[in-house]
Structure 1
Amino acid sequence: MRTNTNTRRLTLNAILLAMGLVLHQITPPIFTIKPDTTLIMLFTLMVINRDSYKTCLVAGIVAGIFAGMTSAFPGGQIPNVIDKFLTTNIMFLVMTLSYRLPFVRNLGDKVKDLIVTGIMMVIGTFVSGTIFLTAAQIIVGLPGNFTMLFMSVVVPAVAINLVVGVLIYKIVNITVQKAVLNV
């Protein structure tokens, strides 16, 4: 039975990462900002696999490669891989600590996961955007001022990723329950 559960979990992870890739490629900009669906799917996957650092780390590397493949930022391939790798490590710690917060710890599992997902989307998008811009600035240079890019791209992306990310998490969670995947 354990192998069956592992196969289901692996399949779900692969589907989520593939969906992130496809959505990242086809999603139009919202108010001139394109939501980073690979990041949204990565955080969703991390919440679902919160007990497995190894799974989250591998997913972060794969998400970085996928985001690099679909990056519209000139020279954004390597900064995307660096960003997702570092963001996954930082956000795994944030996620672990979030589940231990007093106001979260005593809630039901569904509410707890939803709150942690929101925390992940907000803090994770800030972390990811900062790491990406810093890596891009060092490796290929930025097409503008760091602060200007941060304020005009990362800050609006936080709001978009929060709304879209929580919605996607809820859809994935309902789908997993309905499909009786029980991962």
Structure 2
Amino acid sequence: MKLRDMVLTSLLMAIGLVLHQVTPPIVAGMRPNFLLVMLFVSLFINPTPRNALLAGMLGGIFAALTTSFPGGQIANIVDELITSQVMAALIRKGKNVNQKIMVPVVGFIGTIMSGTNFLLVAMLVTGTLPAAFPVLFTTIVIPTAAINTVATSVLYGIIAATGSAARQKDVR
């Protein structure tokens, strides 16, 4: 992996952390998980396993530093590492699929996977959850997945357009 790719992934994840911290709740207390959104965007830009490992590790550490969920520190790191590898593999397999379809699908499926992994690992670490798994899944994971689907599509569109403009300038 080139240094440029590592720096870009690190910057996207840092932007995700800042957005994650400053975004207020927008729908019934839910807000986009911008760390996940930027994880998915960085994987669309570079879906290699090494980049997925870097993005997953950064996302996990950043999320662990900011969580207040019981057992969330370990759960975030495990969750982000698993989710990043699986989503990178899905993106590589779907490279011939239209991006307008693939981006929201990855945003939704990736968030569902991440939320499920997080809750399961947190339950294993602490032995219990603050509420029943189905309650947390339906009230937090699914609405967050819907919001992240839109956020992933919008931010990827902006970043991809910006990247295309920058590459065109380099060509001239």
Give the TM-score taking structure 2 as reference length.
0.89
Give the equivalent residue in structure 2 for 1:113: 99
2:35 equivalent among 38, 59, 76? 38
Indicate whether 1:175 and 2:171 are aligned.
no
Mapped to 1, the partners of 2:71 and 2:17 lie a distance apart of: 18
Does the CA-based 8 Å contact 2:16-2:37 persist in structure 1? yes
Query: Secondary structure in 1 aligned to 2:68?
Result: coil
Higher mean displacement: 170-179 or 123-132: 170-179
Q: Which moved more, 1:157-166 or 1:25-34?
A: 25-34
Q: Is structure 2 residue 64 aligned with structure 1 residue 68?
A: yes
Residues 72 and 34 (structure 1), Cα distance of their counterparts in 2 relative to 1, 3 Å cut: farther
Local SS of the residue matching 2:58? helix
How much has 1:179 moved relative to structure 2? 3.1
Q: Distance in 1 between matches of 2:69 and 2:26?
A: 17
Distance (Å, rounded) in 2 between the aligned partners of 1:165 and 1:150? 20
Q: CA deviation at 1:29?
A: 1.3
The runs of at least 4 consecutive aligned structure 1 residues that moved more than 4 Å come to: none
Identity of aligned residues (%): 39
Say what the alpha-carbon RMSD is for the aligned residues.
1.9
Counterpart position of 1:160: 147
Within 2, Cα distance between the matches of 1:9 and 1:90? 19
Quick one: distance in 1 between partners of 2:165 and 2:3?
A: 18
How many residues of Structure 1 are paired with residues of Structure 2 in the alignment?
167
Q: Which amino acid aligns with 1:75?
A: G
Matched-pair contact (CA < 8 Å) for 2:10–2:58: no
Q: Which residue of 2 aligns with 1:124?
A: 110
1:62 deviates by 1.0
1:82 and 2:84 matched? no
Gaps of 5+ in 1: 105-111
Deviations, residues 84-142 of structure 1 (Å, cap 9, x unaligned) = 01111221222222225xxx2xxxxxxx3332211110110110010000011111221
1:162 Cα shift?
0.5
Greater mean alpha carbon deviation, residues 21-30 or residues 77-86: 21-30
Structure 1 CA distance, aligned partners of 2:101 and 2:53?
22
Q: Partner amino acid for 2:112?
A: F
1:16 aligns with 2:12: yes
Preserved contact between residue 47 and residue 113 of structure 1 (Cα < 8 Å): no
Deviation, 1:11, is 2.5
* Inter-partner Cα distance in structure 2 for 1:58 and 1:15: 12
2:129 maps to which residue? 142
